Amino acid sequence: MRFLLSTIGSRGEAQPVTALAVQLKARGNDVHVIAPPDFEELVTGHGLAFTPVGPRLRDVSAVKTTPDELRRLAQESVREQFRVVTNTAHRADVLVAGGALQHATRSVAESIGARYVYASYCANTLPSPHHAPPAMLGRVPVNGTPEENLAQWEHHRQYFVSSRDTLNEERAELGLGPIDDVRDHILGDAPWLAADPVLGPWPGPAELTQTGAWLLDDQRPLTPALEAFLDGGAPPIYFGLGSMRASQDAVRHAVTAARALGKRVVLQRGWANLEFDAPDCLTIGEVNQQALFRRTAAVVHHGGAGHHHDRRGSGRAADRVAPHVRPVLLGRPGRTAEHRPCADHGHHGGPRRGAGTLRPSHETLRPGAYRRCESRGAAPDVVVSQRHEDRRRGAGEPDQVRRTCGGCP
């Protein structure tokens, strides 16, 4: 069969698409990948056909844009996607869209009579009464009752409205009628959830297929410099924010906190070009995370699906996810720690009301999760949410941090 796999996102979208393409090709299929030009080497390095779409995301993410500029860029992105996907699809039998910004793929599939599948990499990006929508444009929904969550998902539709007119103009060029609901048009009738069913389970019944995570088998060796650093002392703490923008202040906080715990740091530059020059901190570029994370004491990251699955696959390091709030990571010297074994966090979704950790929450925690992580030897580690810290201080509570289990799946 002939497959066209398309994504417009960062590495968190491009790498799973590449992993799926590798497996499809290994089974004798004809596979073509469309992705931003940042990932040409990733895709072609696995012997796959590649067509770029849009600008280099690394360059775009480094520039602050106004709302009007964002709207203009969104319209240009829709038109570019239609142009590239239409020109590449040809006689494809199946078109797979990876990520929620795939405005053109379903329309092109419809125009050539191909099957269309939308794939998400995290349960909370798909509508459900069991969780709130993901954060978008600075708005961070909070998990509530099923009714409250569904109301938030209705509000979530508005983020896709701005592209509707452009999308319908392009559909008309293909001889197709207009659509009204852009988000549901993109998600399709039966989306796939490409997440591990244990780490990122779908919380309730739906017309949905959970495939498991699409992971590349990374065989790249670690660099000699990184090997030497790892061999030169106790396992370090990894700190990386992927494609997110971040300031050097985040790095200084991370290194200072790690030093307070007697830990060294491996810092990944990421798209923010983070840097720190010190004997106890090694700054690295692109790396085999699967190999590195097995040799770290903890992994502090931005919550991307790739980091999350690579960390879990390592089977050793505890991890901390730091989305949406300014964190003081891994504690500060001279503080007491309140130990609460995992009651406030679970697997996926937005922050839960009253939760003081940075860990994304789910409605339930699987029985025995804390006991399992203890048996794996994963040590608890300390995380401070600046938002929670400020709330405690305002209430006159003692200056303390929360300790949570770092090994829970």
Task: For residue range 40-94, list pLDDT tens digits in order.
Answer: 999 999 999 999 999 888 876 555 667 777 778 888 999 999 999 999 998 899 9
Whether residue 318 sits in one domain with residue 270: yes
105 in any annotated domain = yes
Task: Specify the pLDDT at position 239.
Answer: 94
Whether residue 252 sits in one domain with residue 191: no
Whether residue 249 sits in one domain with residue 335: yes
Task: Specify the pLDDT at position 152.
Answer: 94
- Residue 372 pLDDT exceeds 70: no
- Residue 29 pLDDT exceeds 60: yes
Distance CA 240, CA 262 (A): 19
Distance CA 299, CA 381 (A): 11
Q: Give one word for 188, left, alpha or beta, with left for phi > 0 and alpha for psi -120 to 50.
A: left
For 168-188, the pLDDT digits (tens) are 999 999 999 999 999 999 999
Q: What is the pTM assigned to this prediction?
A: 0.74
Q: Please list, residue by residue across 224-236, b when 16 or more beta carbons sit within 10 angstroms of its beta carbon and e when fewer do.
A: eebeebbeeeebb
Please tell me which residue, 103 or 376, carries the higher pLDDT value: 103
- Residue 100 pLDDT exceeds 60: yes
Distance CA 390, CA 393 (A): 5
Whether residue 230 sits in one domain with residue 158: no
333 in any annotated domain = yes
216 in any annotated domain = no
Whether residue 235 sits in one domain with residue 201: no
Whether residue 336 sits in one domain with residue 283: yes
Whether residue 169 sits in one domain with residue 245: no
Proportion of the chain above pLDDT 90, given as a percent: 53
Task: Specify the pLDDT at position 98.
Answer: 93
Q: What's the CATH code of the domain at 21?
A: 3.40.50.2000
218 in any annotated domain = no
- Residue 268 pLDDT exceeds 90: yes
Q: Cα angle vertex 118, ends 115, 123, to 5°?
A: 150
Whether residue 254 sits in one domain with residue 172: no
259 in any annotated domain = yes
Mean pLDDT of 21-50: 96
Q: Could you report how far apart the first and last alpha carbons of the chain are, in Å? A: 37
Please tell me which residue, 245 or 241, carries the higher pLDDT value: 241
- Residue 305 pLDDT exceeds 50: yes
Task: Specify the pLDDT at position 405.
Answer: 34
- pLDDT bin (cut points 50, 70, 90) of residue 319 is low
- pLDDT bin (cut points 50, 70, 90) of residue 310 is low
Lowest mean pLDDT among 63-72, 91-100, 357-366, 390-399: 357-366
DSSP β-bridge partners for residue 278: 281
Residue span of the structural domain in which 180 resides: 2-210
21 in any annotated domain = yes
Select from 151, 184, 210 the last residue of a domain.
210
Task: Specify the pLDDT at position 176.
Answer: 97
Mean pLDDT of 291-308: 82
Whether residue 164 sits in one domain with residue 241: no
Q: Please list, residue by residue across 386-396, b when 16 or more beta carbons sit within 10 angstroms of its beta carbon and e when fewer do.
A: eebbeebeeee
- Residue 408 is encoded by which pair of tokens? 């829970």
- Residue 308 is encoded by which pair of tokens? 């999350």
Given a contact cutoff of 8 angstroms between Cβ atoms, the answer to whether 92 and 6 are in contact is no
Total domains present in the chain:
2
Lowest mean pLDDT among 267-281, 365-379, 385-399: 365-379
235 in any annotated domain = yes
- Residue 344 pLDDT exceeds 60: no
Select from 188, 210, 232 the last residue of a domain.
210
Select from 210, 240, 256 the last residue of a domain.
210
Whether residue 153 sits in one domain with residue 72: yes
379 in any annotated domain = yes
Whether residue 273 sits in one domain with residue 155: no
Mean pLDDT of 306-312: 60
Whether residue 354 sits in one domain with residue 247: yes
